[in-house]
Amino acid sequence: REVRRLAPITVCAEQQIYEVMLMFKRGCKHPIIIEKDGQKLSQLDENEVLHAYFTDKRTTSSMEDLLLVY
């Protein structure tokens, strides 16, 4: 599958993984920028989010929870 462009997604630390996945677009690579109180906490790759959701079954985790794991 070909990736045509980068499409960064900025999310709040409190948002749940599935909410972030709803923002994904086909054919785009998504660096995910996690913010809390208007400040950047960290950045994750979309593959880390997909792995957490589908492999680790972290279906109700927040993005902030993922920072502790990844």
Neighbouring residues of 12: CB distance < 8 A, sequence distance ≥ 6: 34, 35, 36, 63
Domain ranges of the chain: 5-63
pLDDT at 3: 66
Reading the chain (70 residues) residue by residue, the pLDDT tens digits are 676 899 999 999 999 999 999 999 999 999 999 999 999 999 999 999 999 999 999 999 999 999 987 7
Distance CA 41, CA 61 (A): 17
pLDDT at 69: 78
pLDDT at 20: 97
pLDDT at 12: 98
pLDDT at 42: 96
